[in-house]
Chain A
Amino acid sequence: MTRRTMVGVDVGGTFTDVFVLDEATGAARVAKVPTTRPDQSRGFLDGIGAQVDDLGSVASVVHGTTAGTNALLERKGARIGIITTAGFRDVLEMRRRDRPRTWGLRGDFEPVVPRDLRLEVPERVLADGTLHTAVDLDAVRAAGKALLEQGCAAVAVLFVNAYANPENERAALAALRDFWPTPHVTCSSDILPEIREFERFSTTALNAYLQPEVSGYLSRLEAALRDGGFGGEFLIVQSNGGVMAVDSACRLPVRTALSGPAAGVIAAAHIAEGAGFADIITGDMGGTSFDVSLIAGGQPALAAQTSIDFGMVVRTPMIEITTIGAGGGSIAWVDKGGLLNIGPESAGSDPGPVAYGRGNTRPTVTDANIVLGRIDPDRPIGGGKLDVAAARAAIDAHVGQPLGLSTEDAAEAIIRVANARMAGAIRLVSIERGHDPARFAFMPFGGGGALHAGAMLAEVGLARAIVPRYPGVTSAMGCVIADMRQDFVQTVNAMTDSADTQALGALVQDHVDRGMRMLDAAGVAFAGRAVELALDMAYLGQTHTVAVPLPVTLRDGRVTPPERAQIATAFDAAYTATYGRLLPGGVTRILNLRTAVIGQRPKFDLAGLAPQGAGSTAPRTSRPVHVGAWVEAAIYDRLALPVGAVIPGPAVLEQPDTTILIEPGMTGTVDMHGNLILTKAEAR
């Protein structure tokens, strides 16, 4: 039987979204079902079942998961132990000597591994890789047995300078594997062979902390799929926006920390490219936060590390997502100095905005949108009816009266300050990174962003906004689109003018060989393969590096080593672009070498999502909407609009998963794929 269906599944906190693509016809279907707890696999299978009759016809299921993120945030990982270099058991707890907040000196920190499960053994490697003290394997075995007796489900070996020489870690690992009852035995040089012990230990320990939980969850899912007749490939989205095979995910669960959001960004890049825009900024507005990412030239920006929470650092390449605490549920308040603030406190989705009538009495951004008529109180997302009077009263009491503003002006003020904060986040990822916002389009996704899209154009000077046809299922769609990708890193720590380029070439070769083997083993059809190479470089004495991309030449699978002059020129270009001033005569060094091996998956034609037929360009109704003053705005059914429809503002476009505001002076146009392109009227 031919398997020709691809399924993307994104499990979120409230809904499980499914995106089904028939590769032969290009037809796509979507489903949204409630997420089931605690066992997410039932909702997962229900969602697929809503659109697929026969699991046997499915070629691949690709999953964007929050299982890892949630386990980290809720501190619900496994009981684990670590075995570390004598003198260094407290590295995880000492962090980099930071504090949770600049001002106030309050707050403490509990590492995921308590001190009595962090055991030391004699061993030491020096910074240049010299073996100072060979590891005492009897001590390792004794420590491992003690941790087992303490009920540890996983163990991680964390030795100082193991990035420079992994010999001691490897020996300890082998000794532990002899008797450890589960596969959850790891060492830091396997997970992240990169200098900086806290970041490497933290990443490795958090990985071990997630292993039992995440591998259990994924194995249950896979078993359930197989039981249902599924015979294809089961793949997981990583934080870097690429997918990996499920067995890799079980081994490296820490790489799924931003799995769901990363898939959304990948989908956004594809949709934008199809619409003719390679440069976009995405904005996902949820209940408590606004997440922004930048895509330049079709490539999402990657960050080297992130803190999941204070002191919980994960260092692995990931889609750079900048989050600010301004979502629909963010609370508006006036401080003692008379200034209007939005957030960081949020009513979230429960109890939610005042208008939901679930007990919150302080006004939120969504309440302001309701009061201004931008959200229909009789047809909100998720159903029910909203209490407009309660929202008005809350805005009056908490914002209008303290500032001497009418209810409408107070609501406008809330929106303006929220927009300013969201615009600040967009400036942070664009202007502050040297990108001219006029080149970029803004793509809102999630439920709330499309109400604020026009304001982002005005505030930041973005050229246009693109609202995808199904903004509520972008992450599930991204699962189907994402390439397979493996990232590798190795600390080199060499001067550029004396670097052994043959050795660099050999490192790249090793990464490429391992990456290609993983692609081969995945059993997935690729449209092509690519290798990306970058060096982390700096002037001697600097501690922060710049990423210096280099081309990779592969001939019959053999890597041509880079040349020193080529590296030096590439450094100057990257440094100038980042900082402006070069240091004349400065000596440069190469800290790390990074390789990404990518299996490109065939991209589906977005035309399959486009509206079919003549549709309807007639407004469904009209109602008063406040945009500076009350105006009568036309209300449209967004999904009924045909390709080529042009809607002048003021207008509101409604669909089950979002509401779009077209402000006066702006125009919305439905493009060939069903996206709505929002521009200033004169700029069309």
Chain B
Amino acid sequence: MTIDPITLAVLAGRMEQIADEMDATLFRSAFNPIIAEAHDASHGLYHADTGETLVQGKSGLPIFVGVMAFAVKAVIDKAAADGDLAEGDIYIFNDAHIGGTHLSDMRLVRPYFHEGRVFCHLASVGHWHDMGGAVPGNYNPQATEVFQEAFVLPPVKLMRGGVLQQDVVDIILRNTRLPASAQGDLNGQLNALDLGVKRLDALLAEYGAETVRAALDALSDRAEALIKAEVAALPDGRWQAEDFLDNDGISDSPLPIRVALQIKGDRLSLDFTGTADATAGPVNISRGTAEAAVYVAIKHIFSGLPANAGVMRPLSITIPDRSLLSAEFPAPTGGYTETILRMIDVIFAGFAQAAPERVVANAYGTINALSLAGHRADGRRWVMFSFYGGGHGGSAESDGLNHGNAPISTATIPPVEILEAAYPVRFTQWALRPDSAGAGTHRGGLGAVYEIELLEEHGQAFLFGERGCFAPKGAAGGGDAALNRFDYENDGARHVPPMVSKMVGIGLKRGERVRLETPGGGGYGPPAARDPARVARDVALGYVTAEAADRDYGTGWREVRA
């Protein structure tokens, strides 16, 4: 059946609201701060047969918008092979080679039945605090197989016909350092799925299954029409861009990521041929993750597009086999965030040549997963795990945002006071980092400096970061931002990790500090065109030092008042 445009508009809002409400339910009830504060989770409705994303919540992690389709498809295939799918079943898994991203992300998929048939799938994904493996928090830059990263769970039934399989729960809880947190997050995800079922029941009762199905089809078609119209408005041509990861955490050599961007009429193709081969260390990603990263970049560039699979139809994506972007089991994928951030950076750099007004300069480009961990005097284990922020790129309209979150995420950072109340640490600095932004007509936003002191007798630090060797790039003539920098104190001396921004098991004693200085964003437009009064103001406020201002902008600013 076809659906009238008005009912379609109404249903689009209703279904998005269901996904949003599932997000909100998990954010509020999750136990670990990575979901509760950083919103590293997502919910949506997926196609009954193909698993394609139909509707996704607005507040979930952007990267999941694309990647969950692969997770749902894996469950569809598994159910078809086993032939035992029943109403009330829920599958659970974290296997990144099947479902994308990394092993920390626990996925729950619930086939939604209507009149005895699968109408669509509901899915919930959330980043759990710890899933076993060699390193608390699972960011292990020295992993060479997934087994050193975390416990691997393939798709299995968590619920059979509405009955919880306690065996499965027991296996999961025995394989984490933080079972209470895991149990709490699991409950939250089940609550979110229950809520989705309740809301879908009401929607189908109100509008009828046929109408809702027609609306879902029409929304994908509409998304396709929208992106075609956007692409058709851009000039035809072919552009290339490249950037590098510092290293894979195992051997100290840069890893190129290359893209050739081609626009022809309303078609857009992205070819990643020339990208590094799969690596021993954990910066690999699966093909599904790579396609999802393309989606995130496209959605940032064309920010009015809806969150469904129709957007991907006019895109052709070429990913070379056995590359960094198409790794196979059991290659480690724990650091997937770094690789997809770099993919987004090169896609932006490609578009910056094709249509500079459509993009912003590169953001800081690294998640900087920094953990401090240890045991308290009474023997209890503690793990403080967080991602840290940096600057956003300048744009045609304004300077970049100071201290923003990563483009793949909408995560907020926990307050210092919450961290200090929960863990034996003291922050000695939590500040903007001068001279960290790329110069430009509109300069980048500033990165940050975080300095943390250990208050217990012994502890360890773990870092998984990037951009220590290759800086975030400017656009349209703007300058590059500062490099990521990390050091730690041992016996009165300061040390830098051999792999620059990656290291495990850094031993710390009471009073010793680690210091993380994150990149700002790239600049936009030639620095020479920046208003000297703005430069003078930057110097007066300490965003830019006088020396850096002279170097990047010339001394003209010294003649004007801030």
Does A417 interact with chain B (Cβ within 8 Å)? yes
Does B6 interact with chain A (Cβ within 8 Å)? yes
B403 contacts A586, C-beta separation under 8 Å: no
Residues on B with C-beta less than 8 A from A424 are 13-14, 17
A88 contacts B431, C-beta separation under 8 Å: yes
Which residues, 47 to 72 on B, are CB-close (under 8 Å) to A? 58-59, 62
User: At the interface, is chain A mostly helix, strand, loop or mixed?
Assistant: loop
The answer, among A88, A105, A432, A543, for a CB contact under 8 Å with B363, is A105
Question: Given A428-B17, A542-B184, A543-B418, A114 and B9 touching (CB < 8 A)?
Answer: no
User: In the complex, what's the smallest C-beta–C-beta distance from B509 to chain A, in angstroms?
Assistant: 18
Contact flags A524-543 to B (C-beta < 8 A → 1, else 0): 00000000000000011111
Using a Cβ cutoff of 8 Å, how many contacts connect chains A and B?
Answer: 207
A96 contacts B360, C-beta separation under 8 Å: no
Look across to chain A and name the residue whose beta carbon is closest to the beta carbon of B392.
Answer: A105
Look across to chain B and name the residue whose beta carbon is closest to the beta carbon of A586.
Answer: B180
Question: Given A88-B431, A104-B300, A197-B416, A579 and B541 touching (CB < 8 A)?
Answer: no
Look across to chain B and name the residue whose beta carbon is closest to the beta carbon of A416.
Answer: B6
B417 contacts A160, C-beta separation under 8 Å: yes
B12 contacts A339, C-beta separation under 8 Å: yes
Does B401 interact with chain A (Cβ within 8 Å)? yes
A195 contacts B418, C-beta separation under 8 Å: yes
Residues on B with C-beta less than 8 A from A335 are 226, 304
B6 contacts A102, C-beta separation under 8 Å: no
Does B284 interact with chain A (Cβ within 8 Å)? no
Residues on B with C-beta less than 8 A from A106 are 360, 395, 397-398
The answer, among A104, A337, A578, A583, for a CB contact under 8 Å with B184, is A583
Which residues, 426 to 483 on A, are CB-close (under 8 Å) to B? 427-428, 432
Question: Given A335-B226, A543-B37, A543-B414, A98 and B405 touching (CB < 8 A)?
Answer: yes
> Quick one: which of B6, B183, B414, B445 has the most chain A CB within 10 A?
B6
Residues on A with C-beta less than 8 A from B178 are 541
The answer, among A87, A108, A416, A540, for a CB contact under 8 Å with B402, is A108
Does A76 interact with chain B (Cβ within 8 Å)? no
Question: Given A87-B451, A336-B229, A544-B28, A115 and B417 touching (CB < 8 A)?
Answer: no
B191 contacts A580, C-beta separation under 8 Å: yes
Residues on A with C-beta less than 8 A from B191 are 579-581
Contact flags A84-112 to B (C-beta < 8 A → 1, else 0): 00011111011111111111111111000
A95 contacts B403, C-beta separation under 8 Å: yes
Look across to chain B and name the residue whose beta carbon is closest to the beta carbon of A419.
Answer: B10
User: In the complex, what's the smallest C-beta–C-beta distance from B294 to chain A, in angstroms?
Assistant: 15
Which residues, 374 to 417 on B, are CB-close (under 8 Å) to A? 389, 392-393, 395, 397-405, 407, 410-417
Bound state CA distance, A116 and B194, in angstroms?
51
> Quick one: which of A107, A540, A587 has the most chain B CB within 10 A?
A107
Residues on B with C-beta less than 8 A from A578 are 28-29
B6 contacts A413, C-beta separation under 8 Å: yes
Residues on A with C-beta less than 8 A from B184 are 539, 541-542, 583, 586
A163 contacts B417, C-beta separation under 8 Å: yes
Does B25 interact with chain A (Cβ within 8 Å)? yes
Does A126 interact with chain B (Cβ within 8 Å)? yes
Look across to chain A and name the residue whose beta carbon is closest to the beta carbon of B178.
Answer: A541
Which residues, 375 to 403 on A, are CB-close (under 8 Å) to B? 403
B427 contacts A87, C-beta separation under 8 Å: yes
Question: Given A196-B415, A340-B5, A413-B5, A161 and B420 touching (CB < 8 A)?
Answer: yes
A88 contacts B25, C-beta separation under 8 Å: no
A108 contacts B445, C-beta separation under 8 Å: yes
Residues on B with C-beta less than 8 A from A542 are 29-31, 36, 184
Q: Which residues of B contact A (CB under 8 A)?
A: 5-6, 8-10, 12-14, 17, 21, 24-25, 27-33, 36-37, 58-59, 62, 178, 180-181, 183-184, 187-188, 190-191, 194, 222-223, 225-226, 229-230, 299-300, 303-304, 306, 360, 363, 389, 392-393, 395, 397-405, 407, 410-418, 420-421, 426-432, 445, 448, 451, 455, 540-543
Subset of 17 A-B contacts with CB under 8 Å: A87-B428, A87-B429, A88-B430, A90-B432, A94-B402, A94-B448, A101-B303, A102-B62, A103-B303, A116-B540, A132-B426, A163-B417, A196-B417, A432-B24, A541-B184, A543-B418, A586-B184
List 9 additional A-B contacts (Cβ < 8 Å) besides A99-B410, A339-B8, A583-B184: A103-B62, A105-B300, A106-B398, A107-B401, A160-B417, A196-B417, A337-B229, A338-B222, A544-B29
